[in-house]
Amino acid sequence: MADKKAFLIIDMLNDFVKEGAPLEVPAARGIVPNIAKRMKDARNSNTSVIYLCDSHGKDDPEFKAWPRHAVKGTAGSRVIDELKPEQGDIIIPKTSYSGFYNTDLNEKLKSLDVDELIITGCVTNICVLYTSVDALMRGYYVKVPEDCVAALERDDHLFALKQINKVLRPRTQKQR
Ligand code: ZN
């Protein structure tokens, strides 16, 4: 029976987090220690750690809307050193806002018997929000810790958190 958790880290890549990066989310630097701590707890409790990482072709249609970022194989597309994956972690490349879109995330979660996701990273109102919504639609319990997500604008950040953690309840909260 599915009753395991997975810890997801979205787009904590050089091209989002580093100062002067093409899609810099300055607030993302402030959440690094919080994610690191929870990730350590996850590893200690045998929770799967899954990275969802933008991995774009060099002429990806997304670059019509956003500066070029996280092009597959470049240094910018790599997870920041402070949160770098360890052996046994799962890395899932994605090309859009939801980590479920055109990826094998759902199959991976099923094969691991996961039914609850802790979702962290950036951007709160973009990839974190749409991955959370997609997860909820698929029947997963979703938890987004406020101190582990970051956005460009505070209003957007708060709106997304409210959508996920309050409006979409009760599916977001698992009674254990
Ligand atoms: Zn992207």
Given this model, what pLDDT does residue 171 score?
A: 55
Range of the domain at 18: 5-171
Given this model, what pLDDT does residue 167 score?
A: 82
Flag whether 96 is in a domain.
Answer: yes
Flag whether 91 is in a domain.
Answer: yes
Given this model, what pLDDT does residue 168 score?
A: 80
Q: Say how many Å lie between the CA of residue 153 and the centre of ligand 1.
A: 18
Flag whether 147 is in a domain.
Answer: yes
Flag whether 176 is in a domain.
Answer: no
What's the CATH code of the domain at 78?
3.40.50.850
For the chain, the straight-line distance linking the first and the last C-alpha, in angstroms and rounded, comes to: 15
Contacts 24+ apart (CB under 8 A), 164-172: 164/128, 164/129, 164/132, 164/133, 168/132, 168/133, 168/136, 168/142, 171/136, 171/139, 171/141, 171/142, 172/136, 172/141, 172/142, 172/143
Flag whether 154 is in a domain.
Answer: yes
Q: Say how many Å lie between the CA of residue 77 and the centre of ligand 1.
A: 10
Single-letter code of the amino acid located at 139: G
Domain count, the chain: 1
User: What is the pTM for the complete model shown?
Assistant: 0.94
Flag whether 98 is in a domain.
Answer: yes
Given this model, what pLDDT does residue 35 score?
A: 98
Distance CA 94, CA 17 (A): 17
Distance CA 58, CA 44 (A): 38
Residue ranges of the chain with per-residue pLDDT less than 70: 1, 169-176
Flag whether 141 is in a domain.
Answer: yes
Flag whether 35 is in a domain.
Answer: yes
Q: Say how many Å lie between the CA of residue 44 and the centre of ligand 1.
A: 31
Distance CA 151, CA 130 (A): 13
